[in-house]
Amino acid sequence: MKTWECPKCPAQARTVDEKVPMHVCPALGLLVPLLVVGGGSNLLVVERGDYVGKEDVQLDVNGRPVMAVVTRHSDGSEDRTVYAPTATTDAR
């Protein structure tokens, strides 16, 4: 059994499998992974550095466009949750 937590809000979970639970963090306004309690991991929000234009992008709670959330593990490895933009069109 693993116990998970969010470093940005009070969310917690317990699981019996290896699948990383995700949650919509109210502090970030994003779908992010929970981290193993005591695992030494942390989350880093990566803001979009490119032109947004008319694309529909993911925004954080402060209205900033977000490209990804990087999970940095204590062993130096990283995982990413990527928020791909959605293009829109006019059907006229």
Among 26-35, 50-59, 76-85, which stretch is predicted with the lowest mean pLDDT?
50-59
Mean pLDDT of 75-87: 91
Q: What's the whole-model pTM score? A: 0.84
Q: Residues 22, 38: contact at Cβ < 8 Å? A: no
Query: Residue 14's beta-bridge partner residues?
Result: 3
- Per residue in 47-60, is it b (16+ CB within 10 Å) or e — as a string? ebeeeeeeeebbeb
